[in-house]
Structure 1
Amino acid sequence: MDIKSLVEMLKEELTCSICLDYFTDPVIAKCSHSFCRECLLQCTWEGDDTFSCPECRQLIQISNLVRSPNLEKFSMAGKIISPHLLQSMMVLATCDQHWEKEKFFCEEDQKFLCESCSITQEHKDHRILPLDRVIAESTEILQATLNILQEKQEQFNIAFRFVREKEVYIREIAYVLEESIRNENKKIHQFLWDEEALYLQILNKESKEYLEEMEEKTKLTQQIQNMQQMILEIEKRLDKNPLEMLQVIMQNIYLLLL
């Protein structure tokens, strides 16, 4: 991969798809896409905690956003390094002072130098590197950064898949538990209904027996009253002649037999 493609790929990895600039305070959603925090929050409706990802349209919750300090550092590094790398790819400029090709790079001053400039007193104690070495080192840094970003992205993808699988598993478990609770509640309700029917049946039977006992009690009470009345009648007629008293007794016996 040439340096131009590498720079373009790096910039793509370090660029927010909303503002199309290098990340500032980047956050990562559950779908593994990254955005500047402020750019992403601009996509929400006022007061809403849930909205769609601008990249894949999956639902995003603000509370689930993860801040990425490493991505912010890489973004800042890419923003600084990329212009120098792109400039190094251009045709070597000519020094205005010595009319020589600028084949060196001063790290302290961050500028390109020709051979004559590199040995002047101005850059005596500076670290001067050949331009091709600077390009090679920068390419290695970019490649290493890109590898780290790709590795981080894969880690987030794995973590996201794990969370998604766990979410599906929890939903399945919740459904099974919900159905189990419903079935158990149905059994409990059926048991209570059966118990209610049984107790009502017992209550009705006992009530009927009680009413029958009360009716029998009423009859006995009436009979007792009749006996008491007969006793009073007999007591009244004790002083009468035997024939009349016998007639009264027979009459009362007849009434008892009714």
Structure 2
Amino acid sequence: MLQKVQTDVTCNICTSYFSEPVTLHCGHSFCRECLSSCWRATTQAFSCPECRQVPQIRVLPLVNECLAQLTDLVKRFSFQVLQSTKGQSQCALHGKVFKLFCEQDQTPLCVECCEIHGAHEISPVGEAALECRKQLQNMQSHLGKHFEEAESLLAQQSPVEWRKMIKEEYCKLYRLVKAQEFICIERIRQDQRARQDRLTQYIQTLQKLKLELQEAGCQPNLDLLQDAKKFLERGESELSQRTTTVFPELREYPIPGLIERLNRFREDIRLITTPATFYLSISEDLRSVKATENWKAPQDLEDSECYAAVAKQAFSSGRHYWEVDVSQVPQWTLGIYTTYPRRKKRRFVESLDFAFLLRCVKKEDGYYIRTYSGSLNHRLKGPIPRVGVYLEYSPGTLVFYNVLQRSLIYKFHPISFTAPVRPIFCPGPPLPGIQPGPMILCPVDSHLCACCFSSQ
């Protein structure tokens, strides 16, 4: 009953006994100061904070004297009940009224219980309750101030337009990337046009030289002998330009943020040691492989499993990326292999292994990069120190990247995978007279930049 009356004389804004209570037309009552502060802080002034009804007379009501007197009576009665020993519980052990309170254990005590709590701070219940009430009122005052401050901020401050600002930043980034894409595409067009012009000019020169050689062959013997050396030197000179003209150079077109984006799918690749890899030496940590002195490479390197190490991981879904350090291996092969069912006489037999490979070959006139299968057969400016490999199982994509230059090497797409895919690594064939180094599978936290490579 007392609790119900206490609720009736409590303000729903500050949750304390009424102070100068006022009653709105809807019947809800509040402290005069609480209602005034609430109206100042909200855009819906003069509405009831509880039911949101708006009165016809939009002024602050007068103090409800009857409710104020009732509030005083309830406060005095509640205090008397708290001070009365009749309203308190008794000690179950000694059967006496709790008159004391242990501050350390937060436990009410009778006089005889004090012996058990001898060294603790003990106070009369009235004093302890008074101190506790002061602390609660103090905390309530602090909460009220923070409540008003929060309501004021909610009413006054407009929300920060984060969505608009972020969208504008993405628009800037999009325009920047599109501009860089335009520059790159234009550079590719110019390179292709220049290559076509060189090739056309080379063909014309060869055709002209062919005709001159035919005419020279029809000359008298003495004239032929006198001019033969000159024509042969010109022929050798033109043929020496064949490599640079016929085999295009693999151009580097850096893509901003490329490797950072791919690193989201970075995999910690490890190798498998099998008896078949007797031409290879795999490290104990399964992170590197190199060619042994017993290497005797076959004509078709791609067709022999004895010359390639296989990864532990097999991928049958998702996107995956790994990097391989080939700076100590002048010739190498990287890629993946998978299996496809082979049909024979209307029946399926054992699966057929199939590989998608990128291969680097060293010749006297430089380095060449080739694909198997695929159409890439280009010259390189120099060796590639680290190759990134990106695999997307569906829709079937395999991409090779020059990590140092942040540029594309080659892309296989689309590939219809029907079985798990495994990465493969071949550190050879080694060059004669050169001690082969390891092909290293880079850890997930390993990153390469131009300054790092130049300092190696």
TM-score, with length taken from structure 1: 0.33
TM-score, with length taken from structure 2: 0.21
More strand by share: 2
More helix by share: 1
| More contact order relative to length (CA 8 Å, sep ≥ 6) | 1
